[in-house]
Amino acid sequence: MNDVIKPRGCTNLKLRQLNRMVTRHYDHYVAEAGLKITQYSLLSYVVKLGPVRPGELAKHMQMDTSTLTRNMQPLVAQGWLIISAGHDARSRLVTATETGYAKQTEGKLAWKKAQLALNERLGTERVAELHQLLDASIERLSDNKEED
């Protein structure tokens, strides 16, 4: 017999549940900047990746392109993002505007408060461990080896 602990319960259930709780937590903080945490994330990705094609962005975020299309709309409506023509007639380029950059900076302050509060709530060490596991899991599931 080995002494490996078997996982109990449903990974997805636990993930969803914690995700809901944590999202609420962050949302409360970044609402201060007029953002939702999902919007802050997207905005941050665009800022980080610079002018980028939607497909590329979706790949980075591990998100369906159709989801991305729609998630960008509120940010475009607020004037934080601009979607322009790409080098291809079918392709596009997503760029953060000046106000977009400013909003991202503003959001970053609120985000940091949320993150620190969470660290306090859960314990910094536990959060660090969680990050390691999440990163490792994302990494492993990223490998395009889905043999159906």
Binding site for DNA (CB under 7 A): 16, 20, 23-24, 27-28, 36, 38-39, 42, 53-56, 62-71, 74, 77, 83, 86, 88-92
CB 106 within 8 A of CB 43: no
In the bound state with DNA, the residue whose beta carbon lies nearer, of 22 and 127, is: 22
3 binds, among a second copy, DNA, none (CB under 5 to 8 A by kind): none
Specify the 3-state DSSP secondary structure of 90.
Answer: coil
69 binds, among a second copy, DNA, none (CB under 5 to 8 A by kind): DNA
Instruction: Please enumerate in sequence order all residues whose Cβ is within 8 A of that of 74, keeping only pairs 6 or more positions apart, or say none.
Output: 39
* Stretch 34-53: interaction string toward a second copy, x if CB under 8 A: ---xx--x------------
Helix, strand, coil content of the chain in percent (nearest 5): 70, 5, 25
In the bound state with DNA, the residue whose beta carbon lies nearer, of 54 and 101, is: 54
Crossing angle of helices 98-122 and 11-30, rounded to 10°: 120
Residue 126: in which H helix or E strand, if any?
A: helix 124-142
User: Where on the chain is the footprint of a second copy (CB under 8 A)?
Assistant: 4-23, 25-26, 28, 37-38, 41, 61-63, 111, 114-115, 118-119, 121-131, 133-138, 140-142, 148
